[in-house]
Amino acid sequence: MSPASQPPQPDLKAIRGSFLDFIDDPFYVPEADSVRYLADGLLILEDGKVKDFGAYGELQNRYKELPTTVYAERLIMPGFIDTHIHYPQTGMIAAYGEQLLEWLDQYVFPTEGKFQDKAYAEEIAEIFLDQLLSNGTTTALVFAAVFPQSVDAFFEAAERRSLCMIAGKVMMDRNAPEALCDTADSSYQDTKALIQKWHKKGRLRYAVTPRFAITSSDEQLQRAGELLAEFPDVYLHTHLSENVSEVAWVRQLFPQCNGYLDVYDQAGLVKQRSVFAHCVQLTEAEFQRLSEADSAIAFCPTSNLFLGSGLFKLEQAKSAEYPVKLGLGTDVGAGTSFSILQTANEAYKVAQLRQQKLSPFQALFLATLGGARALCLDDLIGSFDIGKEADFIVLNPRATPLMACRHAASAPSSLSELADRTFALIMMGDDRAVEATYILGKLVYEKAEATLP
């Protein structure tokens, strides 16, 4: 056989270091049975997927010929998952002084208008993806703008980088500037064409994306429901019960509905692949309905605090009786950071203000496997299980002088010591703690050497 006709050799390599991931949900399963920590572990990668994973001592003989990258005194985790973010709002993060409805009028709508220009959308999409990767976020559920070309710009950029991303065109036909409005029919046609173009193209997925009940007519929501019926494996991504004035306005706009969630339910939008951002003002019955429907919530603490929306009822979402799938969302630009570590930090404080605790393992579960479950992607990403796609990050728990002072150099010797170290990492860490990001086993981001301590 000539060399040219031989099958290509698999791309095999190994990563050695301390690994942390989850095999179950630490909100319901004791940490000893849900947290997987390997102080000295070996991750074997083949063609972008996890081929093998275990203790170095057990696997080393089988793979000693492989090129191995060693990360000493680091923590390797599955890539973070952001379950709610707006890429067009990248350039208007940290806009002063308003709550939700005024903030949309004053800042968001003028900014999103610029995404009619595809070249501008392309430029922002690249900055946005650079930000995600440098913050250790490898998958996100993303709002584009109302213009179909803003979705093309995003997916083209994500595809070039081989990223697992879910996104969609905003559907919005009222209570917004005319230049930003589509119609019930055009939003249906445009979304359908985008689904056919992008959904399941490589690692990309499509989300039908009405902005929220206030900016969609009943007819538009019905057409969104038709799309979900026609394409059962696409997602639904929208906002729900964020702010008190918003909930009151929805009641006026939809007097025939029994509350905010019911507006979406009556349009056939409350399903297994439906992700609702915020849910701060949700009633108990609405939490129950989301649980029954197997829908997901994106908990966006930095955004909820920034816009003064309120404190998410974490304990109700993660109740034993009516558990709801839950992930963390940065919600940039109302969220104040691209960092899922900082988002987990604020989630902890929101829980504290409600006299609840969010343990570091619970927070990191939400950031990884929990987020993957919320997005129905846990068969592909979210942990180091064999066969999964190898999107992972290398964290430096001693990334700053203060973090180095707080955090011993030696690997933790018990689960409680690991909990203490990861808690400090969540409180003090951000993009400075993300040393490397891998997509499908390939290094795509590395922090500049000079900034390491």
Choice between 59 and 221, CB closer to Zn ion: 221
Least spacing, CB of residue 198 vs Zn ion, in Å: 21
> Can you list the alpha helix ranges (DSSP code H) found in 161-236?
184-198, 218-230
Least spacing, CB of residue 79 vs Zn ion, in Å: 21
Of 184-192, 327-335, 351-359, 408-416: span binding Zn ion (CB under 5 A): 327-335
In this structure, are strands 12-22 and 164-168 parallel, antiparallel, or unpaired?
Answer: unpaired
Q: Report how far apart the first and last C-alpha atoms of the chain are (Å, whole number).
A: 52
- Per the listing, tokens 């308003």 go with 98
Least spacing, CB of residue 213 vs Zn ion, in Å: 14
Least spacing, CB of residue 145 vs Zn ion, in Å: 13
3-state secondary structure of 270: coil
Radius of gyration, alpha carbons of the chain = 22
Choice between 94 and 443, CB closer to Zn ion: 94
Least spacing, CB of residue 344 vs Zn ion, in Å: 18
Choice between 45 and 104, CB closer to Zn ion: 104
| CB-CB contact of 364 with 31 (8 Å) | no
Choice between 220 and 243, CB closer to Zn ion: 243
Of 134-142, 266-274, 276-284, 356-364: span binding Zn ion (CB under 5 A): 276-284
Closest CB to Zn ion: residue number: 331
Choice between 331 and 430, CB closer to Zn ion: 331
Choice between 125 and 277, CB closer to Zn ion: 277
Of 59-67, 190-198, 270-278, 355-363: span binding Zn ion (CB under 5 A): 270-278
Choice between 277 and 369, CB closer to Zn ion: 277
CA distance 8 to 32: 42
β-strand partners of 44? 14, 52
| CB-CB contact of 391 with 370 (8 Å) | no
Of 29-37, 155-163, 219-227, 271-279: span binding Zn ion (CB under 5 A): 271-279
User: In 295-322, which positions are buried (b, 16+ CB within 10 angstroms) versus exposed (e)?
Assistant: bbbbbbbbbbbbbebbbbbbebbbbeeb
Choice between 140 and 277, CB closer to Zn ion: 277
Least spacing, CB of residue 451 vs Zn ion, in Å: 31
| CB-CB contact of 206 with 168 (8 Å) | yes
Stretch 339-378: interaction string toward Zn ion, x if CB under 5 A: ----------------------------------------
Of 145-153, 158-166, 323-331, 365-373: span binding Zn ion (CB under 5 A): 323-331
Q: Of 276, 168, 267, whose CA–CA distance to 223 is shortest?
A: 267
Choice between 85 and 377, CB closer to Zn ion: 85
Least spacing, CB of residue 84 vs Zn ion, in Å: 6
Least spacing, CB of residue 314 vs Zn ion, in Å: 18
| CB-CB contact of 163 with 206 (8 Å) | no
CA distance 379 to 373: 9
- Per the listing, tokens 């999964």 go with 388
Q: DSSP readout, 356-391?
A: ----HHHHHHHHTHHHHHHTT-TTTSSS--TTSB--
Least spacing, CB of residue 298 vs Zn ion, in Å: 8
Choice between 128 and 361, CB closer to Zn ion: 128
Size of the site for Zn ion (CB under 5 A): 2
Least spacing, CB of residue 133 vs Zn ion, in Å: 21
331 sits near Zn ion (criterion: CB under 5 A) = yes
For residue 284, what are the CA distances in angstroms to 51, 90, 232, 310, 443?
43, 34, 28, 16, 44
Q: Of 294, 349, 355, whose CA–CA distance to 326 is shortest?
A: 294
Return residues touching Zn ion (CB under 5 A). 277, 331
